[in-house]
Amino acid sequence: MNTITLQDLKSRGSKAIPDGKVVYLIVNSKVKAAIVPPDQMEALVEAFEELEDIQAIEAAKNEPLYTWEQVFPEDKKKKKR
């Protein structure tokens, strides 16, 4: 686990953060934050959004199905004219 402290950031600035690696910020001997490279963050967000979509699909499986005519009965009336 790559870690840095606030003191590391103060003394070395952005050089304290290694490129392409997740780094944990330690404050008072506890992990307070994670610094994630942009490409990894983007992949995490995409994976999370995909998981949300899958959960929504799973939840919708138990919902009743409706035909077009049941949802939009006025369309059926317009076709008869």
- Report the distance separating Cα 2 and Cα 14, nearest Å: 15
pLDDT at 10: 93
In this prediction, residue 78 has a pLDDT band, given cuts at 50, 70 and 90, of low
Q: What is the pLDDT of residues 42-73, one digit of tens each?
A: 999 999 999 999 999 998 888 888 898 888 98
DSSP 21: S
Does some domain include residue 37?
A: yes
Residue 81 pLDDT > 60:
no
Does some domain include residue 80?
A: no
Residues 31 and 54: beta-carbon distance below 8 Å = no
Q: Taken in order 19, 23, 26, 29, is the CA torsion positive or negative?
A: negative
Which residue range(s) make up the domain with 30? 2-60
The total number of structural domains in the chain stands at: 1
Does some domain include residue 31?
A: yes
- Assessment of whether the complete model's pTM goes beyond 0.85: no
Residue 76 pLDDT > 70:
no
